Amino acid sequence: MKVSETALLESGFSHDELQKIKNNVENYGGTLEDAISDLARRFSSLLWVTGVCIVVFLLLIAFSSPVKVMAGGLAIVLGITIMSFAQPIVISYKSWRYLKIN
């Protein structure tokens, strides 16, 4: 799949976001396609991990004590928050959406 700057701009990326991706490609190597693909996979991974955490939390609610539910819920929220700060969520979402549409 060929990724072009104009296609990315038309799909909702701003000039600043596109510039961040291009700077990353220039600094660390690779292509624009690789960067978009990697960002989309990061967002997909975040969705899967969040889904698994929600299932674990529901299991905690069903089968555990209130203290463990509170501790587990806090740990899950902190874990998802840390994962969210480890990646640019908006750019990752737009990359995921771009690949899903194209």
Tell me which residue of 10, 26, 27, 9 sits closest to 18, measured CA to CA. Answer: 9
E strand or H helix that includes residue 4: none
44/70 Cα distance (integer angstroms): 27
- Looking up tokens 């549409």 gives 101
89/72 Cα distance (integer angstroms): 24
pLDDT at res. 3: 85
pLDDT at res. 78: 96
Taking the chain (102 residues) in runs of 10, the rounded mean pLDDT of each run is: 86 94 93 94 96 96 96 96 92 95 88
Centre a 10 Å sphere on the Cβ of residue 60 and count the other Cβ atoms it contains: 19
pLDDT at res. 94: 95
pLDDT at res. 1: 65
DSSP letter for each residue of 7-18? HHHHTT--HHHH
48/54 Cα distance (integer angstroms): 10
pLDDT at res. 4: 87
Query: pTM of the prediction?
Result: 0.88
pLDDT at res. 33: 94
